[in-house]
């Protein structure tokens, strides 16, 4: 049964409130309308596009959390973070991120997302990558959304090191894995 415009817009507000990271394509499929209809509804309701919603959530929730680098220097958008424990970001791959010849994302973009998330999760004013071991598991293409999760695996306060595992997925399939050894100016729980 087709919904009225008013009903659809009411449900649209509820859906986006529950999940600010839902795409226009997903909304169009859910409501059985075109992407253009969803965009027009969002404009009428003054609901920003996905990228702006993500930035708003990140700015409200995490701008005072991230210490080791400015939030706008993180590659991708942080959507969840708990310092010295875990962090999650998303990165939408666009045409400018891929090789023209084959449409596959350049590896340095995936590495940059993973590395900047490893820096961001550190609860210190300075965090630097000492070394990394990375594996590019599957090709990523324009239009893919890369979801990257960084998990702190351990600490060595004597050496001021933090060890972080990073996994990136596209549609729940692993496309990138990395182990990062990070230097920090102070150990966990220390104050200077």
Tens digit of each residue's pLDDT (9 = 90 or more) over 46-82: 888 877 776 666 555 555 466 656 666 778 888 888 8
- Ramachandran class of 53: left when φ > 0, alpha when ψ lies in -120 to 50, beta otherwise: alpha
Cα–Cα distance, 180 to 131 (Å, whole number): 6
Non-local (6+) Cβ contacts of 114 within 8 A are 134, 148, 150, 166, 168, 176, 178, 180
Cα–Cα distance, 86 to 82 (Å, whole number): 5
Domains and CATH numbers, the chain: 5-47 (1.10.10.10), 65-184 (3.10.129.10)
User: For 137-191, what is each residue's pLDDT tens digit?
Assistant: 999 999 999 999 999 999 988 889 999 999 999 988 999 999 999 999 876 655 5
Cα–Cα distance, 71 to 58 (Å, whole number): 8
In this structure, are residues 62 and 78 in contact, taking their beta carbons and an 8 Å threshold? yes
Residue in the structure block whose two tokens are 């590019």:
136
- With a threshold of 0.85, does the pTM exceed it? no
């Amino acid at each position: 049964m087709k919904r009225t415009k008013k009903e659809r817009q009411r449900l649209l507000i509820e859906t986006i409130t529950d999940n600010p990271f839902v795409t226009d394509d997903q909304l169009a499929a859910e409501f059985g309308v075109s992407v253009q209809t969803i965009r027009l509804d969002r404009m009428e309701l003054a609901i920003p596009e996905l990228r702006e919603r993500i930035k708003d959530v990140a700015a409200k929730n995490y701008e005072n959390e991230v210490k080791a680098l400015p939030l706008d220097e993180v590659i991708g958008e942080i959507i969840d973070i708990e310092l010295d424990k875990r962090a999650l970001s998303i990165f939408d791959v666009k045409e400018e991120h891929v090789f023209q010849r084959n449409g596959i994302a350049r590896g340095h973009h995936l590495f940059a997302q993973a590395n900047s998330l490893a820096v961001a999760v550190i609860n210190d004013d300075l965090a630097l990558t000492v070394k990394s071991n990375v594996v590019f598991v599957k090709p990523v293409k324009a239009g893919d959304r890369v979801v990257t999760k960084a998990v702190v695996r351990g600490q060595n306060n004597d050496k001021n090191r933090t060890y972080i595992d990073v996994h990136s997925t596209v549609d729940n399939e692993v496309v990138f894995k990395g182990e990062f050894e990070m230097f920090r100016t102070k150990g966990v729980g220390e104050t200077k």
